[in-house]
Amino acid sequence: MRERWLNERRQEHYYRLAKRTGFRSRASFKLMQIDERFDIFREGDAVADLGAAPGGWLQVARELVGEKGRVVGVDLRPIKRLDDVVTIMGDITEDSTMLALVKELGGKADVVLSDMAPDISGNYSTDHARSVHLCKYALGVCDRVLKKNGKLVMKVFMGDMIPLLRDETERRFTEVKMHSPDASRPTSSEMYMIATGFKAQTRVKMVERQEEKPKEFTIKGDLL
């Protein structure tokens, strides 16, 4: 009982702190705690933030990479303007959004963040499966835009597919850790995968522009 009361107070504390300090979401503190523990950001880093609305992680990343860094956020929902941050409204599971991200990054990223979450159905295994599905897309983004030795911070809802997702992540990174920051709700099933040392072996070649797709001939048969 006392434990629950303490946890509720702690969450309330982060919520009020976010309001007072001008961060857009309580989630900002999760990323700050993750960075404190795992030393994610360097000055000048390029960062891709997937599932970035309302922008709490973007604010933290912007601060930590400094003026020379580049921060690009993607979300299904619109994100209110933030200085020196580029935002893309779109679904990361769609090629057009992926291409827009590649274009806005203007090069490879040092860090990929994914705080993406599906709409919550309330059914534990459905929400878990949808969360894992989004994580697989986040790994796909790494394959395309992450630099060798780059880092990934990725949220996932716990469930029985975690070992498979972990395997897929370990194929790509030299080290993978699971972590629950203090600022996460203790009742939440969310965890963060912190993956470092991207191997850059599984990178998928992608068609950069639609016109570059091989054209199909409409005339069939032997013309000679």
- x/- map, 30-59, ligand SAM, by CB under 6 A: ---------------------xxxxxxx--
Asked if 141 interacts with ligand SAM (CB under 6 A), we say: no
* Nearest by Cα to 71 from 109, 121, 97: 109
Report the DSSP beta bridge partners of residue 177. 194
**Residue that has been written with the tokens 């989630």 in this structure:** 27
Q: Binding of ligand SAM at residue 74 (CB under 6 A)?
A: yes
- Quote the least distance from Cβ 85 to ligand SAM, whole Å: 12
- Dist. CA 33–CA 38, nearest whole Å: 9
Q: Is 27 in the site for ligand SAM (CB under 6 A)?
A: yes
Amino acid at 58: L
CB of 31 to ligand SAM, least distance (A): 7
- Residue 218 gets which letter from DSSP? S
Q: How far is the CB of 2 from ligand SAM (least distance, A)?
A: 29
């009020």: which residue's tokens?
Answer: 16
Helix (H) or strand (E) holding 146: strand 146-157
Catalytic residues, by residue number, are 155
Residues engaged in binding ligand SAM (CB under 6 A): 24-25, 27-28, 51-57, 74-77, 91-93, 115-117, 134
